[in-house]
Structure 1
Amino acid sequence: MDRLTAMQVFRQVAELNSFSQAGRSLGLSAPAVSKNIAELEAHFGARLINRTTRRMALTEEGRIYLEHVERALEALAEADRALCPIKSEPGGTLRVSAPMTVTLTRLSTAVPAFLSRYPDLKLDLHLDDRRVDLIRDGFDMAIRGSDNLEDSSLIARKLGVMPHVVCAAPSYFAERGVPATPADLRAHNCIRFSLSGHADVWEFTRNGKTERVSVESRYSVTSSLAVRDALRASFGLSLIPRPYVEADIAAGRLQTVLDDWKTVKTTLYAIYPSRQHIAPKIRVFLDFLVEEFNAEPRKTTTDR
């Protein structure tokens, strides 16, 4: 028995005082109406409607049940009305987890303009380079950077690719020398972004040849911005996503080396639970992310 349908049939029969009229109003046959009422009565083990070939009337149990049915159906209708605006227009709270450096260098300056487009939308943006469990931690979406995205039941939409470069301050290279091959990095002070999937081994490829360099470091840190600060301070060199240091390279504060070698690339993805019934708040934020990651990088307050 479909309880919801049976409840709707019962209410309509009671309101119209007719099985046949209730059936016509609901688009059901007379036998279907009778079947729903009979199943309800069998479920409760009580007669809800006394009926003859000429007339019908609710029993005492029927009148009590009708009061509860009307309240229940009205509550369901109210729930539908409350959800309709959410289904059609971006609104409510959107909880997003995102890497700190990616957000500060590519997104944060654009967020106010994005929110201005959708006055009913609230953004709860958590900046953390560590990975979160979307379902367990209650996030609608996460931005993730990965060399190889693991298999998952989650949906991943590609946002962009960040190539990496080896770089340091010119003053550092003036003091320590410029590495000519990946193997030369072993003699240098390497700064590690410790949350990276390639923190311990840096890989380089040229002409079909691959070299892997095990990295030991006096300074390991969980923030790429902290790595960049150490590079600017001439503390050492690092393998870092180029967008994070693009302004420094252009300004001459940092210098790249080993440019004739290919190294890792980090692909950025937007991760969300399902393609089906995507809430408008998720859809518009996805569009915003695609737009921003395909736009020219903005200067930020961290580019000093």
Structure 2
Amino acid sequence: MSTTDRLSGVAAFVHAAEAGNFSAAAERMHLSRSAVAKSVARLEERLGTRLFHRTTRSQSLTEDGLTFYQRCARVLAELEQAEEELAKGRDEAVGKVRITMPVQLGRSCIAPALFALAQRQPGLQLEMSFTDRCVDLIEEGFDLAVRSGPLPDSSSLKMRKLGEQELVLCAAPAYLARRGTPRTLSDLAAHDGIFYGRADRIGEWRFLVNAREEVSAVQARFCMDDLDVMLTAVKEGLGIARLPTWLLGDALQSGYIKQILHGHQVAAYPVHIVWPTARQLSRKLRVVIDELAAVVPSSLRL
């Protein structure tokens, strides 16, 4: 039997083992579920053993399947490393990188950096997902994730800080003319707040005053999970919002909105890139991480 025949179905099997089911594996490989299932079935027939326990609701590796997966995963990793070793001599990154990121932050600050990198690294394939959902990297097969805000403790993830988002309170001139401009933190209680539903504690904002954190209560009239829509609501004069400066540049400079309470520092939001602890950092991943660490900090500032 040729080496090509021996490798047939191995990639589909490894993806299915790591993803936990054929559907997720098919999505990673850009194939149909039936194509992945048939490929694994042919592999089982050739090996003369079942690799998966299958029920209508779950799928798990058999004992033989686990042993075979461990060997196959190493073989595929070696192949990938061999490709990278060849590319290293040409100072190139080769292969696909799957990365997920928050929608607006990704569009404004992350994607432009990746596009510039891709132009310099023609062997790099980038698969980017834009979602504000906290993606399970291992289960959904992503290599990297950009995350905004404080990170929970996790032994399953490694991380590198990319920078901090400076947040400011802002409102439209028409709203301030109608409702008055807050001069102190306590003044905020008399105003309408526009809150980001996935991150903020609804109804309160946190400030750093003399190196101490203070909380200011605000009426949460609006709550949404889209920063662009929040900015639109601010421009329409519907209330006060806390938004990152990278989103506000044009609106502030044009006068459509105004920053308020300049002297009060809003707690900054960190931005990190994370990856599974168990995954060895290949050259292509190191190139992406290093590029974002070099470029993103400046794009987060106004």
Q: TM-score range by the shorter chain?
A: 0.5 to 0.7
- 1:288 maps to a residue whose letter is E
Distance 1:264-1:180 versus aligned 2 partners, 3 A rule: same
| Post-superposition offset of 1:194 | 0.5
CA contact (8 A) 1:98 1:142 kept: yes
Deviation of 1:112 after TM superposition, in Å, equals: 2.6
Residue ranges of structure 2 left out of the alignment (5+ in a row) = 1-73, 88-92
Compute the displacement of 1:136 (Å). 1.3
Q: Taking structure 1 as reference, are residues 242 and 199 closer, same or farther at Cα in structure 2, changes over 3 Å only? A: farther
For residues 298 and 105 of structure 1, what CA distance do their matches in structure 2 show? 12
Aligned to 2:151: 149
Alpha carbons 2:190, 2:218 under 8 Å: kept: no
- The separation in 2 between residues aligned to 1:83 and 1:119, in whole angstroms, is 18
Aligned AA (2:238):
F
1:275: Cα distance to partner?
Answer: 8.4
Of the three residues 107, 111, 125, the one matched with 2:110 is 107
TM-score (norm 1): 0.66
Change beyond 3 A, Cα 1:112–1:210: closer
Q: Is contact 2:195–2:241 with CA below 8 Å preserved after alignment?
A: yes
Does the 8 Å contact 2:203/2:217 carry over to 1? Answer: yes
Q: Which amino acid aligns with 1:284?
A: V
Normalised to the residue count of structure 2, the TM-score between the two structures is: 0.66
- 3-state SS of the aligned residue for 1:295? helix
Please give the secondary structure, in 2, of the residue aligned with 1:218.
Answer: strand
Q: Structure 1, residues 155-178: CA drift from partner, whole Å, max 9, x if none?
A: 110100112111011121111110
Aligned-residue CA RMSD (Å): 2.7
Please say if residues 206 and 260 of structure 1, whose CA atoms lie closer than 8 Å, have aligned partners that are also in contact: no
- Residue matched to 2:38: none
Distance 1:216 1:280, change over 3 A: same
Aligned counterparts, 1:193-208, within 5 A: 193-207=196-210
Q: Specify every segment of 5 or more residues in structure 1 that has no aligned partner in the other structure, as ranges.
A: 1-75, 300-304
Partner of 1:293: 296
Task: Tell me how far apart the structure 2 counterparts of residues 230 and 242 of structure 1 sit (CA, whole Å).
Answer: 16
**TM-fit CA distance, 1:217:** 2.4
* Between 124-133 and 195-204, the greater mean CA deviation after superposition: 195-204
- Which residue in 2 is equivalent to 1:85? 83
Count of residue pairs the alignment pairs up: 223
For residues 25-57 of structure 1, give each alpha carbon's deviation from its aligned partner in whole angstroms, at most 9, with x where no partner exists.
xxxxxxxxxxxxxxxxxxxxxxxxxxxxxxxxx
Q: Secondary structure at the match of 2:295?
A: helix
Change (3 A) 1:115 1:145: same
Q: CA deviation at 1:272?
A: 1.0
- Between the aligned partners of 1:239 and 1:179, the Cα distance in structure 2 is 14
Q: Which has the larger radius of gyration?
A: 1
Alignment map for 1:77-226 (pairs within 5 Å): 80=78, 83-87=81-85, 89=87, 90-146=93-149, 148-153=150-155, 154-207=157-210, 210-226=213-229
Report how far residue 266 of structure 1 moved: 0.3
What residue identity is the alignment partner of 1:267?
Answer: P
8 Å Cα contact 1:189-1:235 kept in structure 2: yes
* Structure 1 residue 295 displacement after superposition: 3.2
Distance of aligned partners of 1:184 and 1:86 in 2 relative to their CA distance in 1, 3 Å threshold:
same
1:236 is aligned to 2:234? no
1:251 to 254, 257, 261: 254
Letter in 1 for 2:83: P
> How far does the alpha carbon of each residue in 1:162-200 deviate from its partner, in whole angstroms, 9 at most, with x for none?
121110111211111101122221221211110114344
Kindly tell me: are residues 78 and 225 of structure 1, through their superposed partners in 2, closer, same or farther at Cα, counting changes over 3 Å? closer
